[in-house]
Amino acid sequence: MAVLVGRKAPLFEADAVINGGEFVEKFSLAQYIGKKYVIFFFYPLDFTFVCPTEILAFQEKLTEFEKRNTVVVGCSVDSKHSHWAWLNTEKKNGGIKGVTYPLVSDLSKTIAENYDVLAGEWEYNEDDDYVEFTGDPLAYRGLFLIDKQGVVRHQVVNDLPLGRSIDEAIRMVDALQFNEENGEVCPANWHKGDEGMKADAAGVASYLSKH
């Protein structure tokens, strides 16, 4: 699994569905560089079980991300038509109607490969005469916090059955912005409003003496 932290986030152009039902071609994260922070997350598949709980939980907290000048973008290996159908299915029927942030279609699986969250890989068979896929052609539950310069500052990747904490994603945005604004680092279990710490021996000693 690649560590992308500290590196430029892989860019792409792909089909997406925005505003709960509008098709967009050549959607790209490049539009946010210099303007917004980005939470870019992968989920395995439309019309599944853990996935709608995460997608709807992001929507419920969308205002909190927007307060932090942060956009949320989801991505799976489904087609744009599958995204559209799911976005127009009522929650009581397993749908995600009401979700407004972009859902990207990675039908070719190249975006998941570039972020190294594809749950499998292409390999030549024993005779090297054709390529076959081993594993599940889905994306792990990867999440990437991308700063306004387009650099990945935080990533977490969960296996398929393990849902993520949206509150933790918000905490990471807060921590990054606190560091950028104050020049201080964030100690263990830091939350917005907590004291930061100077990144030197004296700062560590002062912080530890208080806690």
Query: Active-site residue among 4, 17, 51, 87?
Result: 51
**pTM for this predicted structure:** 0.94
User: CA 115 to CA 10: how far, in whole Å?
Assistant: 7
In a domain, 102, yes or no: yes
Tell whether 119 and 201 lie within a shared domain: no
In a domain, 96, yes or no: yes
User: CA 97 to CA 21: how far, in whole Å?
Assistant: 9
Tell me if residue 51 is catalytic: yes
CATH of the domain at 73: 3.40.30.10
- Listed in sequence order, the residues at least 6 apart from 204 whose beta carbon sits closer than 8 Å to its beta carbon are 197, 198
Residue span of the structural domain in which 49 resides: 14-163
Tell whether 29 and 125 lie within a shared domain: yes
User: CA 74 to CA 46: how far, in whole Å?
Assistant: 11
Q: Are strands 37-42 and 70-76 parallel, antiparallel or unpaired?
A: parallel
Note down pLDDT in tens along the chain; length 211 residues: 689 999 999 999 999 999 999 999 999 999 999 999 999 999 999 999 999 999 999 999 999 999 999 999 999 999 999 999 999 999 999 999 999 999 999 999 999 999 999 998 777 777 666 777 777 889 999 999 999 999 999 999 999 999 999 999 999 999 999 999 999 999 999 999 999 999 887 867 677 788 8
Of residues 90, 135, 85, 127, the one with CA closest to residue 109: 135
Q: Are 4 and 152 in contact (CB under 8 A)?
A: yes
